[in-house]
Structure formats: C-alpha cells, structure tokens
Amino acid sequence: MIMAFVRKFPVTTLLVNLCLLLLFSFVTLRSPSTVAENQVGYGYRVICVNQVMNGDALIADLDLIKRTDVYGPDIERLQLTVRYDNQDRIRVHITDANTLRWEVPPDLIPRATSQELKSLRNTTYSPDSSKAACRNLRLPEIQNPTIPLQNPDHPLEFSYTTEIFGFAITRRSNGEVLFNSTPSVSTANGLSNNLVFKDQYIELSTQLPKDAALFGLGEGTHSSGLRLAKGNTYTLWATDIGSYRTDIDLYGSYPIYIDVRKGGLAHGVQLVNSNGMDCVYGEDGLTFKMIGGVLDLYFFAGPSPRKVLDQYTLFVGRPAPMPFWTLGFHQSRYGYKTLKEVETVVAKYKEIGLPLESMWSDIDYMDRFRDFTIDPDTYPPVEFRKFVDTLHANNQKFTMIVDPGIKVEDSYPPYVRGKELDIFLKTESGEEYLGQVWPGAVHYPDFLHPKAKQWWTKEISEFYKVMPFDGLWLDMNEPSNFCSGPNCYYPPDVVCPEALDWCCMVCDNTNVSRWDRPPYRITNTWNKELYEKTVTMTARHYNDVKHYDAHNIYGFSQTVATFKALKEVTKKRPFVMSRSLYPGSGASAAHWSGDNGASWNDLRYSIASILNSGLFGIPMVGADICGFIPATWEELCNRWIQVGAFYPFARDHSDVHFGPQELYLWKSVTHSARKVLPLRYKLLPFMYTLLHEAHMTGAPVARALFFVFPEDPTTYDVSDQFLLGDAILVSPVVSEGQTSVNAYIPKGNWWNLFNWSPIHSNGSYYKLDAPWDTINVHVRSGFILPMQEYANTTALVRSSPVTLLVVFSGVEQESASGELFLDDDTEIGMEIRPKTSTHIKFVAAKSASRGSVRSTVRYGEWAEQQGLYVHKIVLVGLMTPASSLLIDGAPSPDIVTLNFDKASSIQEISGLRLSAGKDFEVAWTSTTHAVDSIATSLWQLSCLHSN
C-alpha cells in the first residue's frame, strides 16, 4: 500500500523515506544491542520482587543487561529497596546487592542503613510463598511487567518498569508524574539514559515537563539567579574558593531541589550521597552523575514549598535554635592586627550611636595562627579577657574563629592530645596526613572518629576557661589545604613560615590513584583535580573510610561536633557559624556566603545565596555586608547596609589586604545605617518568632517570593527581592547609580514601613522611588507584627515594651493575625514550654464601625516574670478613627490615648499596659462612620450628576 502510494504520488517519496529512516533510527537507539559504542550503560532488568512490611516496602533484585567499560566495569547485581517512609515521603534506595558501599553515616542523617534494608528480605515476606523464592526468576516468569507499590493512602505513588528498569513517582491527587527515570532516548547526545551503576560512576536521569521550575542544588553563586537554569551543570563539591566566583562549586554540597509546577504545586527531591557529582539540567530532564556511593533518594510530597521544607527538615534535622542576640548587628574584619584596633572600633560605634551586638575576631588574635591560642604581643591575654568581660557587661558578645588544621608541633597541647587519641586523618600507609594552612604544617582532625568529638570538646573547654566566647566561627572546613595532591612533603631544608597562603611543600603528582583522578571527571572549579586545595582523596578517616567518599561532609561532621561540645561546655544555647555545610547541617550551624566580592553583582547575588541557604534548611544566614574583597566604596556600601540590615544574619566583614569598611567611615553609609538598623531592631521580636518557626517547621526566615506565592509563576524568576516571613517585602537597589527600583509586588495590599504609602497590587511590577538613603520595605495587609523599642543592644530591646502593628488593607470587613515567641534564649531548646517561654497568638478583626485585637497566651508566666507588656497598638488601614475603647470589656483608663492620622489611615492606641503574659482584648468603635457614609454617598451622587 505504501509503495503504491509513493508510485502514485512521487513527490512524497522523500518524506516517506525520511519517516522510515527516523523510525529505524528510533528502534535502533532503543535496542540495547545496537546503541552507540560510547553508551555509558545499558541498564538493568528486574528479576525478583518482594513486597514486605505489609506492602509499605518493596525489595527487588536488578540484573545488568549488558556490560560496558566506560568509566569502569558495571556492578552486576543491584538491590532496590522502596519504602513509604511516612505519610508524605517515599525513599528509593539502590545499591550493590552483594557488597556494602559508602553511605552518609546515619548518626549525621538518621535513617535505616543498607544492612538494615537488606535485613528486611529475611523478615516479613509477603504471604505469597512464591515471591519468597523469586530470587532466581527470570523476566518472562514475572506476570505483571509493571508492578506498582500499593499504599492507597499515600499522596505519592511509586511504579516501575522491569526491562529496561526505570521508576516513576506520581502525585495521586492529579496523576502528575513528579520524577521519571524510565529510559528514553536523549535528544542531546543520542544515547539512552538508562540507570548506570559502577564503582566510581553512577548515573540516573529524570524527565521533566517544560513548565517545571527548579530551585536548589548548591552551593554556588548563580549568575542566572535563584531559579536553576536549563543548559547548566551544577557541580556539588566542597571547595575553598571565593564566592565572588560565579557558576562553580563553592563551600557546601546540597543535593536537593524543589520542583514547582503549574498552579503552585511543589515537591522535593533529595539525594543522600556525599560523593562529588554533576547535576546536568537539560531542556527536558535532569541527570545526576555521581562518582561513588549509592542512590538514596527521598521524595517529599509537598504539595507547597512550605510543606516540602517541613518534610525535608523533619528528615535531615530541624534548624538549630538560635540565641536572640545573633539577630543583632555584628562587626568583623580579617586584619584587626591588635586588640587596640578592636577596642577602637567598639568605641566608635558607641560614639556615633550605632548598634553593635557582637565583635568578631578572625585569625588575627591567634598565637602563630594556632587554634585555641592568643597572641601574647598583639592581643595580651589579660587585656583581651578584660575587653571581653567589658563587652559582656555592656550586653555585647564576642565570637571567635577556629580552623580545622592543627599545627604539627610537639609543644602544642591540642596537637599532643590529638596525637595521643589518634584522631587525625591518615595516609594510605597509616601515617598522619600532612597539609598546610595558616599555621604552616598541619594535621586534620577526623570528626568521623568517635574520639575526635571527645578531643574537640576538651580543646573548646580549655579555651573557654581562658576566653568566655559567645559563639564559634568555623572556617576553612571544606577542608582547605594550601597544597594540592596526594604526594606532598616538606624537604628537610625548607622552613614554611606561618600565614603563608601558597604551598611551600613539594608535590609530585605525576602518578595519582583512581581516587584522586577518577574515571569520570566532575566539572568542579573549571575541571580542576579533586585534590586541588584540599586533602588528598586517598586519605583515610576512621574505619578506613576514604576522604574521596567523606569529603563533602567534613564541614558537616565538624559542625555537629562543635554544636555538641558547646552545649556541654557552656551549658547554654550554642551559636556555631560554619562555611562548609551539607543537608542536615542547619540542625547545628548558621552560615554566611563566604568570601564574596565588593561589587554590584555580588550585592545582587547575595540575595539568591541567602534564599538558597534557607531552602537547604539553614535559615540563619547572611552575606558579608559591603563585600569581603577587594576594597569597597561609599555608594556600594551605602546600598549594601540598606539590604544587609534585613538579612537574617547581619555582619560587616572585610579582608586584611584592603581598607576597613566599618559603617562609621562614610557619612552616607552612617546615615543609611541610622535609618535601617533601628527598623531592624524594632522588628527583632518578629524575626525571632520567625527563627522559632524555622526551628519547628523548617520555614526560612528570608523567603523567596515563590515560596510564599507559588501559584504566581512570575515570582519564580524574582531573585533580587525577598520576604521576611510572609509579611515583609524587601526591594533593594542593587545597581550603580539607581534612584528607583523596578519591584515585583505580589497580589495584595502593601504598606511602606518608612512612609506608610500604600500599594494595592494585582501582581505587577512597580517603579518605586529609591533615593540614595532609601530602601523600599513593605508590610502586607492581614498580618500583625510584634515590635519593641529600638536600642543599641538586643538585650535592651528585649526588655522594652511591645508594640503591635496591625495591618489592614482598608476595606470594611477584614482580619489580621500574628504571633510572638518569647523565651530564655540561654536555654538549649526553643520549644513552647512552661517557665522558660511564652507564646502568644494575636487576632484582629474589623468592620466599618468597630473592631478588636485579641491575644491568646500559652505559658504566660515567663513573660510576666520579665515584666513584658504591650504599650501600643498601631492600626494601619483604618478608614475612620476610633472614638471609644474597651479593654477586656471595660472602658479604657484616661492614660490611654487615641491618635488618628487621616492622611496615612493609621490609628494609634497608646498608653496601654497590657501584660504580655495574659489574654487581653482591645475593642474600639468608630462613631464617625455614619457621617462618613453620608459624605461618601453625597460625593458619589455628585459624580453621577456631573457625568
């Protein structure tokens, strides 16, 4: 028939031949026996299936279809384990069926290990005895080629194909496929994206719809913005390199992403794998390429970004409780060469009346850059201790840096004690591995070693007796090494001076092992070697674990050890700031974005970096205000303090090689600081309540617009604005010479917190004025913000009266709500509990002629003991003034005053003294409503008549 058609219509011959050629090509590519010779892998087939745990888990054997040698030989048999972990999470685990492989230790991320998963096979088989013997069945004997795992009550569904093996995760409510690794032909390279599993190369792909919006996969400074960009490869490898470098791997490794689809439905995907990897984001899919470990995937059902973060942090660990003082303004510099310089900085901040919560000390304070020591000449210990005591007497804090490299020196107690406990990383031959950082020759503690935690706690404890610091700052913990390679040594005649930031060892790396130079080369830092500026991959951790496997969790393991040590040593809520992190690190540490640049680009990039950290479960995060390197300048620093004042963590920090940049050095910067920092300090109760929410649910403090408005697709591409909670929108200037900002205002009614000008938006961009001393900060209607009085320290803020900012939109019938968390922030925990905390919910409602604000208190004793009370209520968006007032049903006393500003629609109720520890209700009526209604009606009639 076809050939007859062609003879009759010869003009179609070419088209028919082309169609037949395309069909033949497709069949050829789909056939494992005829795929291109550079095919990395041909996939696996399912040969055995068991449902266990009453159908909540599945175990299957996968057999290799065909061998290849690309990136090494394939592993012949795999074990697949699928579990409905809880009501909103599915785990898919794939590993070597016969040999145990490296996995992230369960004491860092608690979960069932491979051995425990394997044991399921020997416990609760399906009652169908034939399945218990299916280990030896071949594919034709399996009756159903696609067998879904049955759990009808779960929001997600797992299904798979048997030959070639692939699996899919589907949302039951709408049938949408969220993750699909079923093999298909890749249009990018003409090769089939089968599952590949080799000793040093694992590959898994998922197909994605065109409208998927992906966020995550860090850490990196992404020039494209917050949303992941198609066509990019995101490499995960902990690297000591300045964050001013864009689009490369930085200090941390976060193999997790959030996928937001049409309508705002979201889900999360986490890969618990600490090996180096490339995440290749193509036009129609995402491919993970790992150089070791296992496939251990977790799928979080959402269905909102907020729920994804809740589910994710429930799994990896809720964000750590933070002391209230960490929300203050911090000053730091690498280059305060003497104690006198530090004292002068503190004095100048006091002199000009700017808040200063904590002074930070970089490595300058150390004696020859050795941890837990003090330079006797530049930081005399007795005077240094007096300085820190004075800070504490003034309700200020002191935070100090420590690095993991421990100086090799027989008279240095931390080194001696570490050597006695045998807790340093080893070479393949069993000797301590030698590296070089600021002190010169160093050994690296192995924080996976059980005794390392004991040693680290001892060193912190001994130093705390000398210097009662308030927080520890962990730097260089990727770990950093100024020398690169597995074969580095100090020649006998070489003396390596301290503070040398280039390698003075001899490194002969002509012959390196497959661990330092694996078959597949991830694209870390422009394709540099894995050992570049870090520990060799052949170094050994406890239990003979290769650094090749554990590199990306080195900083994670140090933060866990530090957090536990501080709890034990100080008996107070710890504060740990770390550079290198991994999913789960937020349960122990805060973060800053590292060595950023003093540039307009870096100012803009800082927003996406902070928002990403929040998505990774690290809500206490900031970027070095005014930039770390090189020298900053007045206009940039002026704009940077305006936005930095609203980072969750606000710190000015700069590099020794360039000039200082304290906020008092330029008049315009000081002026802006005096404008924005008081607002930050007034908002501290609101921000601290957000930290409590983060600790309980994982929700970030600084939030991307898509996180709060996922149903609005325009928000997916907004990377230069952010929200504090759901209520406050920050729209900064991030470009040179600009006096306005083109800000996206999501749907709603918003009020400027500086001048009370309103925006009634349907979801649009607005051009907002932003003169040199102005940043646009808007509060959203429907919220109640707890605020306190401005003071130069957070301790004074905490003891001041409370103001409630109640934000309406101006319509007749509406409501608003908010909450306030108060506690003793020296307590280890941050839970709502009696005696040490108080939690208050506020609800406001109004009609045209009346309204009320009510509080409901849990465990009010603590707030009462602190003497906290509400002294003012500010009602924004009130169209008519309140004329009478009832407090808990009784007329208000004479000391309570009412002030109404018609121009800004703001009603103030002041002179209150309502205990924050007791329920209250403040109700008002507006007697002018009837008059205003008549006037409005007459105005409307006149308009109609004139028309």
43-125+146-303 — its CATH code? 2.60.40.1760
User: Rounded distance, CA 623 to CA 748, Å?
Assistant: 30
3-state class (DSSP) for residue 121 = helix
What residue has token string 């938006």? 761
Sorted by sequence, the CB contacts under 8 Å of residue 901 that are 6+ apart come out as 907, 908
Domain spans of the chain, in order of start: 43-125+146-303, 801-930
Amino acid sitting at position 351: E
Cis bond before residue 711 (omega within 30° of 0) = no
User: Rounded distance, CA 689 to CA 724, Å?
Assistant: 11
Which comes out higher in pLDDT, residue 396 or 11? 396
Chain CA centroid to CA 457, Å: 27
3-state class (DSSP) for residue 795 = helix
Quote the pLDDT of residue 189: 46
Based on DSSP, count helices (H) and strands (E) in the chain, helices before strands.
19, 51
Q: Residue 647 carries which DSSP code?
A: S
User: Rounded distance, CA 583 to CA 593, Å?
Assistant: 16
Q: Is the pLDDT of residue 893 over 70?
A: yes
CB 334 within 8 A of CB 653: yes
CB 931 within 8 A of CB 848: no
Confidence class of residue 699 from pLDDT cuts 50, 70 and 90? very high
Average confidence (pLDDT) over 432-452? 96
Quote the pLDDT of residue 53: 75
Q: Is the pLDDT of residue 937 over 90?
A: no
Quote the pLDDT of residue 621: 98
CA distances 486 to 3, 41, 204, 276, 407, Å, are 67, 31, 30, 18, 19
Q: Is the pLDDT of residue 431 over 80?
A: yes
Confidence class of residue 874 from pLDDT cuts 50, 70 and 90? very high
Taking the CB of residue 325, how many other CB atoms lie within 10 A of it? 22
Confidence class of residue 110 from pLDDT cuts 50, 70 and 90? very high
Q: What is the CA radius of gyration of the chain?
A: 31
Task: Please write the tens of the pLDDT for every residue from 244-272.
Answer: 999 999 999 999 999 999 999 999 999 99
801-930 — its CATH code? 2.60.40.1180
Quote the pLDDT of residue 37: 52
Confidence class of residue 810 from pLDDT cuts 50, 70 and 90? confident
Task: Please write the tens of the pLDDT for every residue from 382-403.
Answer: 999 999 999 999 999 999 999 9
Task: Please write the tens of the pLDDT for every residue from 734-749.
Answer: 999 999 999 999 999 9
Which residues are designated catalytic? Answer: 475, 478, 595
Q: Is the pLDDT of residue 923 over 50?
A: yes
Lowest mean pLDDT among 5-19, 356-370, 516-530, 794-808: 5-19
Quote the pLDDT of residue 586: 98
Task: Please write the tens of the pLDDT for every residue from 756-804.
Answer: 999 999 999 999 999 999 999 999 999 999 999 999 999 999 999 999 9
Quote the pLDDT of residue 928: 59
User: Rounded distance, CA 623 to CA 598, Å?
Assistant: 11
Of 550, 540, 544, give the one whose Cα is nearest residue 427.
540
CA distances 188 to 7, 210, 605, Å, are 36, 15, 30
Average confidence (pLDDT) over 605-621? 98
DSSP-assigned states of every residue in 226-271: SB--TT-EEEE------TTS-SS--S--EEEEEEE-GGG-EEEEEE
What residue has token string 């065109």? 210
Average confidence (pLDDT) over 132-139? 42
Quote the pLDDT of residue 811: 86
Confidence class of residue 122 from pLDDT cuts 50, 70 and 90? low
Quote the pLDDT of residue 192: 63
Confidence class of residue 187 from pLDDT cuts 50, 70 and 90? very low
DSSP-assigned states of every residue in 37-66: TT-S---EEEEEEEEEGGGTEEEEEEEESS
User: Rounded distance, CA 307 to CA 375, Å?
Assistant: 49
Q: Is the pLDDT of residue 562 over 70?
A: yes
User: In this structure, what are the phi and psi dihedrals at residue 442, rounded to the nearest 5 degrees?
Assistant: -140, 155
Phi-psi region of 308 (alpha: psi -120 to 50; beta: other; left: phi over 0): alpha
User: Rounded distance, CA 907 to CA 925, Å?
Assistant: 12
Are the folds of 43-125+146-303 and 801-930 the same? yes
Quote the pLDDT of residue 500: 81
